[in-house]
Structure 1
Protein backbone atom coordinates (compact mmCIF):
# COMPACT_ATOMS: atom_id res chain seq x y z
CA UNK A 1 0.00 0.00 0.00
CA UNK A 2 1.26 3.49 -0.89
CA UNK A 3 0.31 6.60 1.08
CA UNK A 4 1.28 10.10 -0.05
CA UNK A 5 2.00 12.52 2.79
CA UNK A 6 1.78 16.30 2.69
CA UNK A 7 4.01 17.81 5.38
CA UNK A 8 5.03 21.32 6.42
CA UNK A 9 8.40 20.36 7.94
CA UNK A 10 11.28 18.33 6.45
CA UNK A 11 11.77 16.55 9.78
CA UNK A 12 8.39 14.84 9.36
CA UNK A 13 9.71 12.66 6.54
CA UNK A 14 11.99 10.57 8.78
CA UNK A 15 9.39 10.59 11.55
CA UNK A 16 6.61 9.19 9.37
CA UNK A 17 8.93 6.73 7.62
CA UNK A 18 9.96 5.32 11.01
CA UNK A 19 6.33 5.12 12.11
CA UNK A 20 5.37 3.39 8.86
CA UNK A 21 8.01 0.71 9.40
CA UNK A 22 6.59 0.06 12.86
CA UNK A 23 3.00 -0.04 11.60
CA UNK A 24 3.47 -2.32 8.57
CA UNK A 25 6.50 -3.62 6.65
CA UNK A 26 4.54 -3.38 3.39
CA UNK A 27 3.53 0.26 3.82
CA UNK A 28 5.25 2.65 1.40
CA UNK A 29 5.21 6.42 1.84
CA UNK A 30 5.87 9.26 -0.55
CA UNK A 31 6.38 12.78 0.74
CA UNK A 32 5.84 16.38 -0.27
CA UNK A 33 6.95 19.20 2.03
CA UNK A 34 5.23 22.58 1.82
CA UNK A 35 6.79 24.58 4.63
CA UNK A 36 5.67 27.72 2.80
CA UNK A 37 2.02 26.94 3.56
CA UNK A 38 2.58 26.84 7.31
CA UNK A 39 4.77 29.95 7.15
CA UNK A 40 2.02 31.77 5.29
CA UNK A 41 -0.57 30.66 7.85
CA UNK A 42 1.65 31.85 10.70
CA UNK A 43 2.11 35.22 9.02
CA UNK A 44 -1.65 35.52 8.42
CA UNK A 45 -2.48 34.47 11.99
CA UNK A 46 -4.19 31.28 10.85
CA UNK A 47 -5.47 29.37 7.84
CA UNK A 48 -6.93 31.64 5.16
CA UNK A 49 -9.05 30.53 2.22
CA UNK A 50 -6.17 31.27 -0.17
CA UNK A 51 -3.83 29.01 1.81
CA UNK A 52 -6.55 26.37 2.06
CA UNK A 53 -6.94 26.42 -1.72
CA UNK A 54 -3.20 25.88 -2.19
CA UNK A 55 -3.33 23.03 0.31
CA UNK A 56 -6.21 21.37 -1.52
CA UNK A 57 -4.37 21.68 -4.84
CA UNK A 58 -1.34 19.92 -3.36
CA UNK A 59 -3.49 17.16 -1.89
CA UNK A 60 -5.27 16.60 -5.20
CA UNK A 61 -1.94 16.36 -7.01
CA UNK A 62 -0.73 13.68 -4.61
CA UNK A 63 -3.53 11.26 -5.58
CA UNK A 64 -1.65 9.88 -8.58
CA UNK A 65 -0.19 6.47 -7.80
CA UNK A 66 -1.39 6.55 -4.19
CA UNK A 67 -3.96 4.52 -2.29
CA UNK A 68 -4.54 7.36 0.19
CA UNK A 69 -3.33 10.90 0.88
CA UNK A 70 -2.42 12.02 4.40
CA UNK A 71 -2.29 15.65 5.54
CA UNK A 72 0.07 15.79 8.52
CA UNK A 73 -0.21 19.47 9.50
CA UNK A 74 -2.93 20.34 12.02
CA UNK A 75 -2.86 24.04 11.13
CA UNK A 76 -3.82 23.16 7.54
CA UNK A 77 -6.27 20.44 8.58
CA UNK A 78 -9.49 22.43 8.00
CA UNK A 79 -8.56 22.65 4.30
CA UNK A 80 -9.82 19.07 4.01
CA UNK A 81 -13.57 19.45 3.43
CA UNK A 82 -16.38 17.45 1.88
CA UNK A 83 -15.82 19.02 -1.53
CA UNK A 84 -12.17 17.96 -1.55
CA UNK A 85 -13.11 14.43 -0.48
CA UNK A 86 -15.46 14.15 -3.47
CA UNK A 87 -12.80 15.46 -5.84
CA UNK A 88 -10.22 13.00 -4.50
CA UNK A 89 -12.46 9.93 -4.62
CA UNK A 90 -11.73 7.05 -4.87
CA UNK A 91 -8.42 8.02 -3.19
CA UNK A 92 -9.30 9.01 0.39
CA UNK A 93 -7.76 12.06 2.05
CA UNK A 94 -7.08 11.68 5.77
CA UNK A 95 -6.13 14.28 8.40
CA UNK A 96 -3.74 13.13 11.10
CA UNK A 97 -5.42 15.44 13.61
CA UNK A 98 -8.87 13.99 12.90
CA UNK A 99 -7.53 10.46 13.30
CA UNK A 100 -5.87 11.46 16.57
CA UNK A 101 -9.12 12.96 17.85
CA UNK A 102 -11.08 9.79 17.13
CA UNK A 103 -8.50 7.65 18.90
CA UNK A 104 -8.20 9.94 21.93
CA UNK A 105 -11.93 10.41 22.43
CA UNK A 106 -12.62 6.68 22.18
CA UNK A 107 -11.03 6.35 25.62
CA UNK A 108 -13.51 8.76 27.22
CA UNK A 109 -12.73 10.62 30.44
CA UNK A 110 -10.74 13.84 30.56
CA UNK A 111 -8.79 14.28 27.33
CA UNK A 112 -6.09 16.94 27.40
CA UNK A 113 -4.85 18.00 23.96
CA UNK A 114 -1.49 19.77 23.90
CA UNK A 115 -0.44 22.16 21.11
CA UNK A 116 2.72 24.18 20.60
CA UNK A 117 1.90 26.33 17.55
CA UNK A 118 -0.65 29.09 18.11
CA UNK A 119 -2.05 28.59 14.60
CA UNK A 120 -2.95 25.04 15.59
CA UNK A 121 -4.87 25.95 18.74
CA UNK A 122 -8.18 27.09 17.19
CA UNK A 123 -8.57 24.37 14.53
CA UNK A 124 -7.52 21.68 17.02
CA UNK A 125 -9.98 22.90 19.65
CA UNK A 126 -12.80 23.06 17.09
CA UNK A 127 -11.99 19.57 15.81
CA UNK A 128 -11.83 17.89 19.21
CA UNK A 129 -14.85 19.69 20.66
CA UNK A 130 -16.98 18.78 17.66
CA UNK A 131 -15.76 15.18 17.71
CA UNK A 132 -16.53 14.94 21.43
CA UNK A 133 -20.21 15.71 20.99
CA UNK A 134 -22.28 12.69 21.97
CA UNK A 135 -19.36 11.05 23.77
CA UNK A 136 -18.49 10.81 27.45
CA UNK A 137 -15.18 12.59 26.90
CA UNK A 138 -14.28 15.99 28.35
CA UNK A 139 -11.90 17.97 26.15
CA UNK A 140 -9.29 20.45 27.37
CA UNK A 141 -7.04 21.96 24.66
CA UNK A 142 -3.89 23.71 25.90
CA UNK A 143 -1.13 25.75 24.24
CA UNK A 144 2.39 25.25 25.60
CA UNK A 145 3.69 28.81 25.71
CA UNK A 146 7.10 29.39 24.15
CA UNK A 147 7.55 25.82 22.92
CA UNK A 148 7.07 26.57 19.22
CA UNK A 149 9.93 29.06 19.25
CA UNK A 150 12.19 26.26 20.53
CA UNK A 151 11.15 24.05 17.61
CA UNK A 152 11.79 26.76 15.05
CA UNK A 153 15.20 27.39 16.61
CA UNK A 154 16.05 23.70 16.23
CA UNK A 155 16.32 23.26 20.01
CA UNK A 156 14.56 19.89 19.93
CA UNK A 157 15.69 18.55 23.34
CA UNK A 158 14.33 21.68 25.03
CA UNK A 159 11.19 21.51 22.86
CA UNK A 160 10.49 17.92 23.85
CA UNK A 161 11.25 18.64 27.50
CA UNK A 162 8.73 21.50 27.55
CA UNK A 163 6.06 19.25 26.05
CA UNK A 164 6.81 16.41 28.46
CA UNK A 165 6.60 18.80 31.42
CA UNK A 166 3.21 20.04 30.20
CA UNK A 167 2.00 16.46 29.80
CA UNK A 168 3.17 15.55 33.30
CA UNK A 169 1.36 18.60 34.66
CA UNK A 170 -1.81 17.60 32.79
CA UNK A 171 -1.70 14.13 34.29
CA UNK A 172 -1.21 15.69 37.71
CA UNK A 173 -4.35 17.77 37.02
CA UNK A 174 -6.38 14.63 36.45
CA UNK A 175 -6.06 13.95 32.72
CA UNK A 176 -7.06 10.43 31.67
CA UNK A 177 -5.70 10.73 28.13
CA UNK A 178 -3.18 13.12 26.61
CA UNK A 179 -2.97 13.74 22.87
CA UNK A 180 -0.04 15.56 21.26
CA UNK A 181 -1.77 17.54 18.52
CA UNK A 182 1.19 18.13 16.19
CA UNK A 183 3.46 15.60 14.53
CA UNK A 184 6.50 17.63 15.61
CA UNK A 185 5.65 16.82 19.23
CA UNK A 186 5.99 13.04 18.85
CA UNK A 187 9.51 12.85 20.25
CA UNK A 188 8.26 14.08 23.62
CA UNK A 189 5.95 11.13 24.21
CA UNK A 190 8.60 8.83 25.65
CA UNK A 191 9.81 11.58 28.00
CA UNK A 192 6.53 11.79 29.90
CA UNK A 193 6.95 10.32 33.39
CA UNK A 194 3.33 10.28 34.59
CA UNK A 195 0.41 8.25 33.29
CA UNK A 196 0.22 6.49 29.95
CA UNK A 197 2.37 7.41 26.97
CA UNK A 198 0.55 10.26 25.16
CA UNK A 199 -1.16 9.56 21.87
CA UNK A 200 0.61 10.93 18.79
CA UNK A 201 -0.60 11.88 15.34
CA UNK A 202 1.79 9.93 13.04
CA UNK A 203 0.68 6.51 14.24
CA UNK A 204 -2.99 7.53 14.40
CA UNK A 205 -2.89 9.13 10.97
CA UNK A 206 -1.15 6.28 9.18
CA UNK A 207 -3.46 3.69 10.72
CA UNK A 208 -6.50 5.73 9.64
CA UNK A 209 -5.12 6.23 6.13
CA UNK A 210 -4.51 2.49 5.73
CA UNK A 211 -8.03 1.72 6.93
CA UNK A 212 -9.56 4.31 4.58
CA UNK A 213 -7.56 2.99 1.63
CA UNK A 214 -8.68 -0.57 2.37
CA UNK A 215 -12.33 0.51 2.51
CA UNK A 216 -12.00 2.41 -0.76
CA UNK A 217 -10.45 -0.61 -2.46
CA UNK A 218 -13.20 -2.85 -1.14
CA UNK A 219 -15.86 -0.50 -2.46
CA UNK A 220 -14.35 -0.72 -5.96
CA UNK A 221 -14.38 -4.51 -6.04
CA UNK A 222 -17.03 -6.12 -8.29
CA UNK A 223 -20.01 -7.31 -6.29
Structure 2
Protein backbone atom coordinates (compact mmCIF):
# COMPACT_ATOMS: atom_id res chain seq x y z
CA UNK A 1 0.00 0.00 0.00
CA UNK A 2 1.31 3.44 -0.95
CA UNK A 3 -0.36 6.49 0.55
CA UNK A 4 0.79 9.93 -0.58
CA UNK A 5 0.26 12.90 1.72
CA UNK A 6 0.04 16.51 0.58
CA UNK A 7 0.99 18.76 3.50
CA UNK A 8 1.13 22.52 3.89
CA UNK A 9 3.51 22.31 6.88
CA UNK A 10 6.70 20.24 7.11
CA UNK A 11 6.03 19.48 10.77
CA UNK A 12 3.09 17.30 9.74
CA UNK A 13 5.42 14.67 8.30
CA UNK A 14 6.49 13.42 11.73
CA UNK A 15 2.91 13.57 13.01
CA UNK A 16 1.66 11.34 10.20
CA UNK A 17 4.53 8.91 10.53
CA UNK A 18 3.72 8.53 14.24
CA UNK A 19 0.03 7.99 13.46
CA UNK A 20 0.94 5.39 10.83
CA UNK A 21 3.11 3.47 13.30
CA UNK A 22 0.28 3.55 15.85
CA UNK A 23 -2.05 2.02 13.25
CA UNK A 24 0.49 -0.69 12.45
CA UNK A 25 1.36 0.47 8.94
CA UNK A 26 4.76 -0.70 7.67
CA UNK A 27 7.61 1.77 7.22
CA UNK A 28 7.53 3.26 3.73
CA UNK A 29 3.75 3.21 3.43
CA UNK A 30 3.61 7.00 3.39
CA UNK A 31 5.22 9.42 0.95
CA UNK A 32 5.16 13.08 1.91
CA UNK A 33 4.92 16.18 -0.27
CA UNK A 34 5.12 19.57 1.44
CA UNK A 35 3.77 22.69 -0.27
CA UNK A 36 3.64 25.47 2.33
CA UNK A 37 3.07 28.13 -0.30
CA UNK A 38 -0.51 26.91 -0.77
CA UNK A 39 -1.50 27.72 2.81
CA UNK A 40 0.54 30.92 2.83
CA UNK A 41 -1.34 32.09 -0.26
CA UNK A 42 -4.68 31.23 1.35
CA UNK A 43 -3.74 33.12 4.50
CA UNK A 44 -2.73 36.15 2.45
CA UNK A 45 -5.99 36.00 0.49
CA UNK A 46 -8.13 35.46 3.57
CA UNK A 47 -9.19 31.99 2.46
CA UNK A 48 -9.26 29.52 -0.40
CA UNK A 49 -9.39 31.20 -3.83
CA UNK A 50 -10.21 29.57 -7.21
CA UNK A 51 -6.55 29.82 -8.25
CA UNK A 52 -5.28 28.16 -5.07
CA UNK A 53 -7.95 25.50 -5.45
CA UNK A 54 -6.91 24.81 -9.05
CA UNK A 55 -3.23 24.61 -8.09
CA UNK A 56 -4.01 22.21 -5.24
CA UNK A 57 -6.23 20.02 -7.42
CA UNK A 58 -3.50 19.75 -10.05
CA UNK A 59 -0.98 18.63 -7.44
CA UNK A 60 -3.37 16.05 -5.99
CA UNK A 61 -4.13 14.63 -9.44
CA UNK A 62 -0.43 14.35 -10.18
CA UNK A 63 0.26 12.51 -6.93
CA UNK A 64 -2.55 10.02 -7.59
CA UNK A 65 -0.83 8.47 -10.58
CA UNK A 66 0.90 5.57 -8.81
CA UNK A 67 -0.64 5.82 -5.34
CA UNK A 68 -3.29 3.66 -3.68
CA UNK A 69 -4.72 6.83 -2.12
CA UNK A 70 -3.80 10.48 -1.67
CA UNK A 71 -4.41 12.33 1.60
CA UNK A 72 -5.00 16.08 1.65
CA UNK A 73 -3.87 17.02 5.14
CA UNK A 74 -4.49 20.79 5.18
CA UNK A 75 -7.95 21.72 6.45
CA UNK A 76 -7.89 25.12 4.73
CA UNK A 77 -7.42 23.36 1.39
CA UNK A 78 -9.82 20.56 2.29
CA UNK A 79 -12.71 21.50 -0.02
CA UNK A 80 -10.49 20.81 -3.04
CA UNK A 81 -10.44 17.08 -2.30
CA UNK A 82 -13.91 16.48 -3.71
CA UNK A 83 -13.08 18.15 -7.03
CA UNK A 84 -9.73 16.40 -7.34
CA UNK A 85 -11.27 13.01 -6.57
CA UNK A 86 -13.54 13.27 -9.62
CA UNK A 87 -10.59 13.09 -12.03
CA UNK A 88 -7.87 11.35 -10.02
CA UNK A 89 -6.65 7.83 -10.64
CA UNK A 90 -6.74 7.04 -6.91
CA UNK A 91 -9.05 8.02 -4.04
CA UNK A 92 -8.37 11.47 -2.60
CA UNK A 93 -9.01 11.52 1.15
CA UNK A 94 -9.93 14.76 2.85
CA UNK A 95 -8.68 14.02 6.35
CA UNK A 96 -10.86 16.59 8.09
CA UNK A 97 -13.95 14.98 6.54
CA UNK A 98 -12.82 11.64 7.92
CA UNK A 99 -12.40 13.36 11.28
CA UNK A 100 -15.84 14.98 11.07
CA UNK A 101 -17.45 11.67 10.18
CA UNK A 102 -15.81 9.92 13.14
CA UNK A 103 -16.73 12.73 15.52
CA UNK A 104 -20.35 12.96 14.38
CA UNK A 105 -20.79 9.21 14.76
CA UNK A 106 -20.54 9.65 18.55
CA UNK A 107 -23.65 11.86 18.55
CA UNK A 108 -24.13 14.43 21.27
CA UNK A 109 -22.20 17.69 21.18
CA UNK A 110 -19.09 17.79 19.02
CA UNK A 111 -16.65 20.64 19.59
CA UNK A 112 -14.16 21.09 16.75
CA UNK A 113 -11.16 23.24 17.62
CA UNK A 114 -9.37 25.23 14.92
CA UNK A 115 -6.04 27.01 15.16
CA UNK A 116 -6.12 29.23 12.07
CA UNK A 117 -8.93 31.49 10.93
CA UNK A 118 -8.76 30.53 7.26
CA UNK A 119 -10.03 27.04 8.04
CA UNK A 120 -13.08 28.05 10.06
CA UNK A 121 -15.62 28.10 7.23
CA UNK A 122 -14.38 24.90 5.58
CA UNK A 123 -14.36 23.14 8.95
CA UNK A 124 -17.85 24.36 9.81
CA UNK A 125 -19.26 23.12 6.53
CA UNK A 126 -17.75 19.65 6.65
CA UNK A 127 -18.65 19.07 10.30
CA UNK A 128 -22.21 20.30 9.81
CA UNK A 129 -22.62 18.06 6.75
CA UNK A 130 -21.57 15.00 8.72
CA UNK A 131 -23.61 16.01 11.78
CA UNK A 132 -26.84 16.08 9.77
CA UNK A 133 -26.40 12.35 9.17
CA UNK A 134 -26.37 11.48 12.89
CA UNK A 135 -28.17 14.32 14.65
CA UNK A 136 -25.03 15.48 16.43
CA UNK A 137 -24.68 19.12 17.46
CA UNK A 138 -21.56 20.92 16.24
CA UNK A 139 -19.67 23.79 17.83
CA UNK A 140 -16.69 25.16 15.86
CA UNK A 141 -14.22 27.12 17.98
CA UNK A 142 -11.10 29.09 17.09
CA UNK A 143 -8.37 28.85 19.71
CA UNK A 144 -7.26 32.48 19.72
CA UNK A 145 -3.64 33.44 19.19
CA UNK A 146 -2.24 29.95 18.80
CA UNK A 147 -1.38 30.16 15.11
CA UNK A 148 1.05 32.98 15.87
CA UNK A 149 2.75 30.63 18.33
CA UNK A 150 2.93 27.90 15.71
CA UNK A 151 4.41 30.24 13.13
CA UNK A 152 6.96 31.47 15.69
CA UNK A 153 8.09 27.92 16.41
CA UNK A 154 6.63 27.78 19.91
CA UNK A 155 5.31 24.25 19.53
CA UNK A 156 5.04 23.66 23.26
CA UNK A 157 2.97 26.78 23.83
CA UNK A 158 0.84 25.99 20.79
CA UNK A 159 -0.03 22.50 21.96
CA UNK A 160 -0.56 23.56 25.59
CA UNK A 161 -3.07 26.22 24.57
CA UNK A 162 -4.97 23.72 22.42
CA UNK A 163 -5.10 21.19 25.26
CA UNK A 164 -6.42 23.90 27.57
CA UNK A 165 -9.12 24.77 25.04
CA UNK A 166 -10.08 21.09 24.75
CA UNK A 167 -10.37 20.77 28.53
CA UNK A 168 -12.54 23.90 28.54
CA UNK A 169 -14.78 22.40 25.87
CA UNK A 170 -15.31 19.30 28.00
CA UNK A 171 -16.04 21.50 31.01
CA UNK A 172 -18.70 23.19 28.86
CA UNK A 173 -20.37 19.84 28.19
CA UNK A 174 -18.80 18.56 24.96
CA UNK A 175 -19.37 14.87 24.26
CA UNK A 176 -16.22 14.69 22.14
CA UNK A 177 -13.58 17.18 21.04
CA UNK A 178 -12.07 17.01 17.55
CA UNK A 179 -8.77 18.71 16.76
CA UNK A 180 -9.50 19.99 13.27
CA UNK A 181 -5.93 20.54 12.05
CA UNK A 182 -3.21 17.92 11.77
CA UNK A 183 -0.67 20.12 13.54
CA UNK A 184 -2.84 20.01 16.69
CA UNK A 185 -2.73 16.22 17.08
CA UNK A 186 -0.07 15.95 19.78
CA UNK A 187 -2.16 18.13 22.11
CA UNK A 188 -4.63 15.26 22.52
CA UNK A 189 -2.30 13.49 24.95
CA UNK A 190 -2.48 16.37 27.43
CA UNK A 191 -6.28 16.61 27.69
CA UNK A 192 -7.65 15.48 31.06
CA UNK A 193 -11.30 16.58 31.34
CA UNK A 194 -12.82 14.03 28.97
CA UNK A 195 -12.14 11.41 26.32
CA UNK A 196 -8.96 11.74 24.30
CA UNK A 197 -9.79 14.16 21.46
CA UNK A 198 -10.07 12.79 17.95
CA UNK A 199 -7.33 13.80 15.53
CA UNK A 200 -7.30 14.14 11.77
CA UNK A 201 -4.08 12.17 11.03
CA UNK A 202 -5.48 9.05 12.69
CA UNK A 203 -8.93 9.52 11.14
CA UNK A 204 -7.54 10.22 7.68
CA UNK A 205 -5.17 7.27 7.64
CA UNK A 206 -7.89 4.93 8.87
CA UNK A 207 -10.20 6.17 6.12
CA UNK A 208 -7.50 5.67 3.50
CA UNK A 209 -6.82 2.14 4.70
CA UNK A 210 -10.53 1.34 4.53
CA UNK A 211 -10.80 2.73 0.99
CA UNK A 212 -7.81 0.74 -0.19
CA UNK A 213 -9.15 -2.47 1.34
CA UNK A 214 -12.54 -2.03 -0.30
CA UNK A 215 -11.21 -1.34 -3.81
Residue 87 (structure 2) pairs with residue 87 (structure 1): yes
Instruction: Report Cα offsets for 1:119-163 as digits up to 9, x if no partner.
Output: 011100011111111322100000011011000001011101110
For 1:23, the equivalent position in structure 2 comes to 23
Structure 2: 5+ residue stretches without partners: none
Structure 2 CA distance for aligned equivalents of residues 25 and 120 of structure 1: 29
Structure 2 CA distance for aligned equivalents of residues 215 and 85 of structure 1: 16
Structure 2 CA distance for aligned equivalents of residues 24 and 66 of structure 1: 19
Aligned residues of 2:58 and 2:84 also touching (Cα < 8 A): no
CA RMSD of the aligned region, Å?
Answer: 1.0
For 2:178, the equivalent position in structure 1 comes to 179
Structure 1 CA distance for aligned equivalents of residues 103 and 127 of structure 2: 9
SS at match of 1:107: coil
Aligned residues of 2:69 and 2:212 also touching (Cα < 8 A): yes
For 1:220, the equivalent position in structure 2 comes to none
Instruction: Report Cα offsets for 1:66-95 as digits up to 9, x if no partner.
Output: 1000000000001122x4222114x10001
Residue 138 (structure 2) pairs with residue 104 (structure 1): no
Aligned residues of 2:164 and 2:191 also touching (Cα < 8 A): yes
Aligned residues of 2:178 and 2:198 also touching (Cα < 8 A): yes
For 1:52, the equivalent position in structure 2 comes to 53
SS at match of 1:77: coil
For 1:13, the equivalent position in structure 2 comes to 13
SS at match of 2:87: helix
Aligned residues of 2:93 and 2:204 also touching (Cα < 8 A): yes
- Alpha-carbon distance, 1:47 to partner: 0.3
For 2:206, the equivalent position in structure 1 comes to 207
SS at match of 2:79: helix
Q: Look at both structures and tell me which one has the larger radius of gyration over its CA atoms.
A: 1
SS at match of 2:126: helix
Structure 2 CA distance for aligned equivalents of residues 68 and 147 of structure 1: 31
For 1:193, the equivalent position in structure 2 comes to 192
Structure 2 CA distance for aligned equivalents of residues 119 and 86 of structure 1: 25
Structure 1: 5+ residue stretches without partners: 217-223
